[in-house]
Structure 1
């Protein structure tokens, strides 16, 4: 079944902040005695930049505080460190698209463990994010499978839509992102929007959410 789809990145597209750094701040407030974990983040980030470490392992260091959190903590993090930074214009865009009959899907490289709470918004039909390994009911910082970025976003989107029995109506569908790393996702649709970017990006319209 062909359907109009609207694809949205999240960090710096739907929200003003980078949720990974927000998560570090939240983790430090919850467990100040684990400040040493920040040094691991710095070291792993340097190793990744030097190409000594895979992206998944370097990125997982940002989520080490999650071992101190339960579902209530993660929902509290979303409500206090993510939700307040949603661009009102982005939420309105999603609402308008929903009213126009679009299937609204958020696709983020950030963990589904806390991005899933976007599902509380009636404007959305689904959320896709990077999966973290669970041990029983507890999330770990380790990434399950691949980091949901670049081509992996396309793979995850196609899997999601296939399970829903939806085929993208290319001409009518749209996608929004702040980063050229999302170009594979943007290529799935005809209407491509780069958010809050001052440099021209070929094939994409510029769109600015006001603060």
Structure 2
């Protein structure tokens, strides 16, 4: 029998809202949140018109809010954000995750969001499980003093990059792909390649 691997997109699939916006507002407050978006509105319009790369716009926005913050302080805010916003997780998605953890299956949350705030959403849920659970998300850069530089260490985990990162994180799939049955869950164009990579694809299943 083939071993199962579950792949879940995060924003919009497991959650009911985009967590990037929710996280910035939580971490920076309403006033600074709106100020930043007002300053970057021309760039965001260009991004929506596909005249400026989504990844670069996201990185510049992130840098404006968080560059110079210590990694410890950032991680602390990420943990508090996840703790105070569990309501963002869809109930049907939680039921599926509990089932996966109960049976000890391998599970990966694959997201373009920063992995620092994605991972804490699942710490209590995965606790005590024998599942191999991983979060594959965008990683952030710090300098030698442990301060955020505002740059990303990895490309935006979107489209083909999702499949590349999955294979990087689970290298056994590079030469033993036929030994596994992969089930993927997504909700947008950014999940297309991941859903096609899977043996069993579910589009917007938890709504």
* TM-score scaled by length of structure 1: 0.79
Q: Structure 1, unaligned stretches of length 5 or more?
A: 196-206
Tell me what 2:58 maps to.
59
8 Å CA contact 1:108, 1:148 repeated in 2: yes
Tell me what 2:24 maps to.
24
Is 2:131 the partner of 1:128?
Answer: no
Report the Cα offset of residue 167 of structure 1: 4.3
Tell me what 1:49 maps to.
48
8 Å CA contact 1:24, 1:62 repeated in 2: no
Q: Structure 2, unaligned stretches of length 5 or more?
A: none
Tell me what 2:184 maps to.
175
- Partner Cα distance (1:40, 1:155) in 2: 34
8 Å CA contact 1:70, 1:138 repeated in 2: no
**1:1-211 alignment runs, 5 A limit:** 3-29=3-29, 32=31, 35-63=34-62, 64-67=64-67, 68=69, 69-81=73-85, 83-120=86-123, 121-122=125-126, 125-135=133-143, 136-162=145-171, 167-168=176-177, 172-195=181-204, 207-209=205-207
8 Å CA contact 1:5, 1:168 repeated in 2: no
Report the Cα offset of residue 169 of structure 1: 5.1
Greater mean alpha carbon deviation, residues 154-163 or residues 61-70: 61-70
Greater mean alpha carbon deviation, residues 114-123 or residues 140-149: 114-123
Cα distance, 1:71–1:28 mapped onto 2, change above 3 Å: closer
Report the Cα offset of residue 96 of structure 1: 1.3
3-state SS of 1:187 partner: helix
Higher RCO (Cα < 8 Å, 6 or more apart): 2
Moved over 4 A (4+): 163-171
Matched positions, count: 195
8 Å CA contact 1:115, 1:127 repeated in 2: yes
Report the Cα offset of residue 97 of structure 1: 2.4
Report the Cα offset of residue 33 of structure 1: 5.2
The structure carrying a bigger helix percent of its residues is: 2
Greater mean alpha carbon deviation, residues 70-79 or residues 151-160: 70-79
